[in-house]
Amino acid sequence: MKEIHALLVDYLDYLEIEKNRSPKTRENYERYLKEFLKASNVGSPKDITDEVVRSFRMNLARRDLKKITQGYYVIALRNFLKYLAKRDIAALPPEKIELPKAPSRQIEVVDYKDLERLLASPNKDDLRSLRDKAILELLFSTGLRVSELCALDRYLDLERGEISIRGKGDKLRIVFLSDRARKALKAYLGKRPDADPALFISITKSGGAMGRITPRAVERLVVRRAKEAGIGKKIHPHELRHSFATDLLMNGADLRSVQALLGHSNVSTTQIYTHITNKELREIHEAFHGRRRK
């Protein structure tokens, strides 16, 4: 039987090649699992026992790591054990490892009035303003992740009003353009003087193209445009994705449809939005709470 470090390499190759996980996922899993192997000093799969895992989890907790970070280590270990079981390699059964209960995520959404001011903030006719307007409208229209937006190429069928997106785990989904997003994209592309295949480009101070825009540059432009719009708090592009999801749910969209539009693998991920979009609960509260105090 191969020693544990060789099996780890096999597993990481399996993740990247057969499971089609991103290089970043492979890098993270490698870090989590190598730390487990080093801390536990195991030489073969059969050395991974209940006691070894419990001791490792105790060490994670004592390091004052966030619960969600501790969870990443445990999920990586459990998935590694699943891989070993699939290959009929004797080790601790993966179901013996109980995943930590993840704390509820706090979702930050942009107040609707602030959102409208943000979307309207690039109001000039130069290339940078038109690009920024198109980026903001596209983020809110589609709920794209910033990495997905940056990866888009410019030759889109804008008349059709939909874009095929290759998201996390190499999964394909369709997103749709609002009329405002389509209009903003047409104006921006009509101003482009270059032949760069990227949809969104970095722009020099003199207005020239510098190649595909980066996620960090998108973050900076959202912060800058929010400041110009007079919005007091710092806004991250991901908040536009949150705003996209909550806007759909508050206007009656069902959870499964929003899950598909966001590209979530599991509907439980999409459920994080429901606590701020449940109109019925709000109406019940307003109708029945504190009536005797009137």
Q: Within this chain, do residues 126 and 271 fall inside the same structural domain, yes or no?
A: yes
Q: What is the CA radius of gyration of the chain?
A: 24
pLDDT given at position 33: 96
101 within some domain: no
240 within some domain: yes
292 within some domain: no
Q: What is the pLDDT of residues 110-140, one digit of tens each?
A: 888 999 999 999 999 999 999 999 999 999 9
Catalytic residue among 11, 73, 188, 273: 273
Whether residue 81 contacts residue 48, with contact meaning beta carbons closer than 8 Å, is answered with: yes
Q: Within this chain, do residues 88 and 141 fall inside the same structural domain, yes or no?
A: no
Q: Is 145 a catalytic residue?
A: yes
Q: Within this chain, do residues 8 and 121 fall inside the same structural domain, yes or no?
A: no
Single out the residue of 136, 195, 196, 141 nearest to residue 165, CA to CA: 141
Q: Within this chain, do residues 126 and 24 fall inside the same structural domain, yes or no?
A: no
Helices marked H in 151-237 = 179-191, 215-228
Q: Is 73 a catalytic residue?
A: no
Buried b (16+ CB within 10 A) or exposed e, 69-98: ebbbbbebbbbbbbbbbeeebebbebeebe
Single out the residue of 229, 143, 129, 152 nearest to residue 178, CA to CA: 143
Q: Within this chain, do residues 41 and 69 fall inside the same structural domain, yes or no?
A: yes
**Boundary of a domain, candidates 71, 96, 121:** 96
Report how far apart the first and last C-alpha atoms of the chain are (Å, whole number). Answer: 76
Q: Within this chain, do residues 66 and 146 fall inside the same structural domain, yes or no?
A: no
Catalytic residue among 78, 182, 241, 242: 241
Q: Within this chain, do residues 41 and 122 fall inside the same structural domain, yes or no?
A: no
In this structure, what CATH number is given to the domain that contains residue 122? Answer: 1.10.443.10
Encoding tokens for residue 41?
A: 């000093």
pLDDT given at position 135: 97
Catalytic residue among 82, 154, 168, 191: 168
Encoding tokens for residue 13?
A: 């190759």
33 within some domain: yes
Q: What is the pLDDT of residues 235-279, one digit of tens each?
A: 999 999 999 988 888 888 888 898 989 888 888 778 877 766 665
Q: Is 273 a catalytic residue?
A: yes
Q: Torsion over CA of 89, 92, 96 and 102, rounded to 10 degrees?
A: -90
Q: Is 242 a catalytic residue?
A: no
Q: Within this chain, do residues 131 and 170 fall inside the same structural domain, yes or no?
A: yes
31 within some domain: yes
Q: Within this chain, do residues 48 and 141 fall inside the same structural domain, yes or no?
A: no
Q: Is 155 a catalytic residue?
A: no
- Domain containing 34 equals 4-96
Whether residue 47 contacts residue 4, with contact meaning beta carbons closer than 8 Å, is answered with: yes
pLDDT given at position 1: 52
285 within some domain: no
Helices marked H in 87-126 = 112-120
Q: Within this chain, do residues 271 and 190 fall inside the same structural domain, yes or no?
A: yes
Q: Within this chain, do residues 193 and 273 fall inside the same structural domain, yes or no?
A: yes
Catalytic residue among 21, 131, 145, 182: 145
Whether residue 261 contacts residue 165, with contact meaning beta carbons closer than 8 Å, is answered with: no
203 within some domain: yes
Name the E strands within the chain.
162-166, 172-176, 201-203, 209-212
pLDDT given at position 169: 73
pLDDT given at position 32: 96
CA dihedral for 218, 219, 224, 227, sign (positive or negative)? positive
**Residue 50, number of CB atoms within 10 A of its CB:** 11
* Cα 198 to Cα 81: distance, rounded to the nearest angstrom: 41
Q: Within this chain, do residues 127 and 257 fall inside the same structural domain, yes or no?
A: yes
CB-side neighbour CA atoms (13 Å) of 63: 12
> How many domains, in total, are found in the chain?
2
In this structure, what CATH number is given to the domain that contains residue 32? Answer: 1.10.150
All residue ranges of the chain with pLDDT < 70 are: 1, 102-106, 275-286, 288-294
pTM of the model: 0.67
* Cα 107 to Cα 109: distance, rounded to the nearest angstrom: 6
**Boundary of a domain, candidates 64, 96, 128:** 96
* Cα 90 to Cα 84: distance, rounded to the nearest angstrom: 7
